[in-house]
Amino acid sequence: MKVLIAQQNYHIGNFESNKAKMLDAIAKAKDQGADLVVFSELSVCGYPPRDLLEFTDFIEQCEKTVQELAAAADNLGVIVGSPVRNPDAAGKDLLNAALLLYQGEVYGQAFKTLLPNYDVFDEYRYFEPASNWRVIQFRGIKIALTICEDIWNLGDNPLYRICPMDQLIQQGPDLMINISASPFDYDHDKDRAEVVRRNVEKYKVPMIYCNAVGAQTEIVFDGGSMACNVNGEIANTLDFFSEDYSLVDVDELIRPSFPKGKADYLLLNQEMRVTRANDPDSIMQYLTGESNMAQIKEALKLGISDYFSKMGFKKAILGSSGGIDSAVVLTLAVEALGKDNVTALLMPSGFSSSHSVDDAVKLSEHLGNPYHIIPIEAVYDTFLNTLSPLFEGTSFGLAEENLQSRSRGNILMSVANKFGHVLLNTSNKSELATGYGTLYGDMAGGLSILGDLYKTQVFALARFLNLNGELIPGNILTKAPSAELRPNQKDSDSLPDYELLDRILYLYIERRMGPAQIIELGADVALVNRVLKMVNVNEYKRNQFCPVIRVSTKSFGTGRRIPIVAKYLS
Tens-digit pLDDT profile for residues 434-478:
999 999 999 999 999 999 999 999 999 999 999 999 999 999 999
pLDDT per position as a tens digit, 27-80:
999 999 999 999 999 999 999 999 999 999 999 999 999 999 999 999 999 999
pLDDT of residue 277: 64
Q: Which residue has the higher pLDDT, 18 or 265?
A: 18
* C-alpha dist (Å) from residue 129 to 92, 126, 474: 9, 10, 54
273: confidence class by pLDDT, cuts 50, 70, 90:
very low
pLDDT, average across residues 104-131? 97
Q: Which residue has the higher pLDDT, 285 or 10?
A: 10
Contact between 23 and 72 under an 8 Å Cβ cutoff? The reply is: yes
How would residue 403 be classed by pLDDT, with cut points 50, 70 and 90?
very high
DSSP 307-322: HHHHHT--EEEEE--S
- Rounded average pLDDT over 309-317: 98
The CA–CA distances, whole Å, from 64 to 60, 82, 102, 127 equal 6, 11, 16, 20
* Separation CA 441–CA 41 (nearest Å): 39
Query: What is the percent of the chain where pLDDT is above 90?
Result: 88
At residue 189, the pLDDT reads 67
What confidence category does residue 261 fall into, taking pLDDT thresholds of 50, 70 and 90? low
Q: What is the pLDDT of residue 485?
A: 78
Lowest mean pLDDT among 222-231, 420-429, 475-484, 553-562: 475-484
How much is the pLDDT for 266?
Answer: 40
pLDDT of residue 270: 37
Alpha-carbon radius of gyration of the chain:
26
CA gap 211, 398 in Å, rounded: 48
The arithmetic mean of pLDDT across residues 278-306, rounded, is: 90
Percentage of the chain lying above the pLDDT 70 cut: 96
| Cα–Cα nearest to 98, from 86, 88, 108, 87 | 108
CATH class of segment(s) 2-272: alpha beta
CATH classification for the domain delimited by 280-491, as one of 3.40.50.620, 3.20.20.120, 3.40.50.300, 3.30.360.10: 3.40.50.620
Give burial (CB, 10 Å; 0-12/13-18/19+) of 118. Answer: exposed
- Look over the chain and give the mean of its residue pLDDT values, rounded to a whole number: 94
Distance CA 473, CA 462 (A): 10
User: What per-residue confidence (pLDDT) applies to 155?
Assistant: 87
Catalytic machinery residues: 41, 112, 148
Higher pLDDT, residue 228 or 270:
228
Q: Does the pLDDT value for residue 267 go beyond 50? A: no
Q: Which residue has the higher pLDDT, 127 or 479?
A: 127
Average pLDDT over residues 505-526: 96
Residue pair 454/428 in contact by the 8 Å Cβ criterion: yes
Give the integer Cα–Cα distance in Å for 94 and 54: 9
Q: Which residues contact 371 (CB under 8 A, 6 or more apart)?
A: 320, 343, 344, 345, 346, 360, 361, 364
Give the model's confidence band at 191: pLDDT under 50 very low, under 70 low, under 90 confident, else very high. confident
Q: What is the pLDDT of residue 272?
A: 35
CA distances, 179 to each of 109, 358, 370 (Å): 12, 51, 43
Tally Cβ neighbours within 10 Å of residue 106: 16
Per-residue pLDDT for 263 more than 80? no
Write down the domain spans for the chain: 2-272, 280-491
